[in-house]
Structure 1
Amino acid sequence: MAASMVSLLVIVLLGTFALEPTFAQDFCVADLSSELTPSGYPCKPASSLNSDSFVFTGLETAGNVSNNIGAAVTPAFSAQFPAVNGLGVSIARLDIAPNGVIPLHIHPGGNEILLVVKGVINAGFISSSNVVYSKTLNVGDLMVFPQGLLHYQINAGESTAIAFASFSSPIPGLQIVALSLFASNLPSAVIEKTTFLADSEVKRLKAFLGGSG
Structure 2
Amino acid sequence: MMKVVIVAILALATTLVSAYDPSPLQDFCVAINNTDSAVFVNGKFCKDPTLVTANDFFFSGLNIPENIAANKVESNVTLVNVDKLPGLNTLGVSLARLDFAPYGLNPPHTHPHSTELLVVIEGQTNAVAFAGLSSQNPRVITIANAVFGSNPPINLDVLAKAFLLDKNVVEYLQKQF
The whole-number CA distance in structure 1 between the counterparts of 2:113 and 2:24 is: 24
CA distance in structure 2 between the aligned counterparts of 1:175 and 1:33, rounded to whole angstroms = 29
Structure-2 residue corresponding to 1:159: 125
1:61-76 equivalences in 2 (<5 Å): 61-65=64-68, 66-76=70-80
Q: What is the TM-score of this pair, normalised by structure 1?
A: 0.61
Aligned counterparts of 1:29 and 1:191: Cα–Cα separation in 2: 44
SS in structure 2 opposite 1:42? Answer: strand
Q: Which amino acid aligns with 2:136?
A: P
What CA deviation, in whole Å up to 9, does each residue of 1:77-134 have, x standing for no partner? 1122111111021110001111211111111112211122233xxxxxxxxxxxxxxx
Q: Say if 2:42 and 2:89, in contact at 8 Å, map to a contact too.
A: no
Deviations 1:149-186, CA, capped at 9 Å, x for gaps: xxxxxxxxx72110100112111221110111223332
Q: Secondary structure at the match of 1:114?
A: strand
Percent identity for Structure 1 against Structure 2: 36
Distance 1:169 1:50 in 2: 22
Query: Considering only aligned residues, what root-mean-square deviation do their CA atoms show, in Å?
Result: 2.5
Does structure 2 retain, via aligned residues, the 8 Å contact 1:72–1:96?
yes
Residue 33 of structure 1 and its aligned partner are, at CA, apart by: 5.5
Runs of at least 5 residues in structure 1 that lack an aligned partner in the other structure: 1-21, 120-157
The 1-side partners of 2:120 and 2:34 are apart by: 35
Is the Cα contact below 8 Å between 1:188 and 1:203 reproduced in 2? no
In the alignment, what sits opposite 2:29? 28
More strand by share: 1
Instruction: Tell me how far apart the structure 1 counterparts of residues 31 and 127 of structure 2 sit (CA, whole Å).
Output: 32
Contact 2:147 2:154 in 1 (8 A): no
> Paired residue for 2:55?
52
Moved more, 40-49 or 71-80: 40-49
Q: Which residue does the alignment assign to 1:97?
A: 101
2: CA distance, partners of 1:32 / 1:196: 48
Name the structure, 1 or 2, with higher relative contact order (CA <8 Å, separation 6+).
1
Cα distance in 1, alignment partners of residues 101 and 24 from structure 2: 47
Instruction: Give the gaps of 5 or more residues in structure 2.
Output: 1-22
Residue-pair matches, total: 148
